[in-house]
Amino acid sequence: MTNSEKNRLKDKAFQVFGIFCTFIGLVVLAIFLIDIVIEGIGRIDWDFLTSLPSRRAARAGILTAWAGTLWILVLSALIAFPLGIAAGIYLEEYAKKTKLSDFLEINIANLAGVPSIIYGLLGLELFVRFMHLGPVLLVGALTLSLLILPIVIVTTREAIKAVPRTIRDGSFALGASKWQTVWNQVLPASFGGILTGVILALSRAVGEAAPLIVIGALAYVPFVPKTPMDEFTVLPIQIFNWTSRPQAAFLTNAAAAIIVLLLITFLLNGIAVYLRHRQQKKIKW
């Protein structure tokens, strides 16, 4: 066997191995999805989406849970979006390379790896106990915003980094200030990437139950929250609650609620993919 044949063989071997690895993830996901859909799809109807929680599995619905999830989603976006983008712009465009900025950078990277329940404890002490806000929607959204902030900052920086140096130089050459350059050139060019990052971060937040249970989000809420200062529940908590019940009918409910939660996540990811795609088409340097 010649050397090049050997290499080609290795190449082929890795390709097969790569396909195998890819399929492990996909097959597990597919089995999970099929199982959930078979179990739960028949349970989803208008009543299920518009009913309050109940002890009778057949009568129970997820109105308050999905309403809470939607509230959390919108509020977290409104909080994390400006904070994360501003921090990202500062670190990438303004911050000088000092010990302080190195320190900030390392810590933001570390924060992205902190388990979500720790954020729950932080939210409990800071927002619920110290600021006396109580276990309300706003506190849930603030806590989840903290959770996703590192991701938003990191993706913002990556998106901004991808804007070529020449664009900035051109703007400066025309006499624009740093802020004008950021606002008129850098941000528009990187906005698709930033938005993608924010949406993917939000789709992570939507699936969180642990930090919200810690801050005191509830399991039984018989009313739809009307203001950010109302108490709430979310879909993952409802699912968690149903899966631990003894009656099999509640497991069917849980499967149906999982489908709804997955649809929300897929919808968000779909929006993210669309935005990135549109952005890529639009920018021509």
The span of 47-55, 86-94, 145-153, 158-166 binding another protein (CB under 8 A) equals: 47-55
Backbone torsions φ then ψ of 254, nearest 5 degrees = -60, -45
Kindly state the smallest distance separating residue 219's Cβ from another protein, in Å: 5
What mask of x and - would describe binding to another protein in positions 173 to 192, judged by CB under 8 A? Answer: -----------x--xx--xx
Region 69-98 residues binding another protein, contact defined as CB under 8 A: 70-71, 74, 77-78
Is residue 232 a contact partner of residue 217, using CB atoms and an 8 Å limit?
yes
Cα 276–chain centre separation: 16
Measure the CA–CA gap between 229 and 215, rounded to whole angstroms.
14
Is residue 134 helix, strand or coil? coil
What mask of x and - would describe binding to another protein in positions 116 to 145, judged by CB under 8 A? Answer: ------------------xx----------
Identify which of 51, 82, 80, 85 has the alpha carbon closest to the alpha carbon of residue 65. Answer: 51
**Per CB under 8 A, 280 contacts another protein:** no
What mask of x and - would describe binding to another protein in positions 1 to 40, judged by CB under 8 A? Answer: ----------------------------------------
Is residue 268 a contact partner of residue 199, using CB atoms and an 8 Å limit?
yes
Measure the CA–CA gap between 164 and 77, rounded to whole angstroms.
28
Measure the CA–CA gap between 273 and 190, rounded to whole angstroms.
15
Q: Among 80, 195, 256, 258, which residue sits at the site for another protein (rule: CB under 8 A)?
A: 195
* Cβ nearer to another protein, comparing 12 with 55: 55
Amino acid present at 65:
A
Measure the CA–CA gap between 233 and 231, rounded to whole angstroms.
7
**Per CB under 8 A, 214 contacts another protein:** yes
* Cβ nearer to another protein, comparing 154 with 221: 221
Amino acid present at 118:
I
Return residues touching another protein (CB under 8 A): 52-55, 63-64, 67, 70-71, 74, 77-78, 134-135, 184, 187-188, 191-192, 195, 213-214, 216-226, 231, 237, 241, 243-248, 251, 282
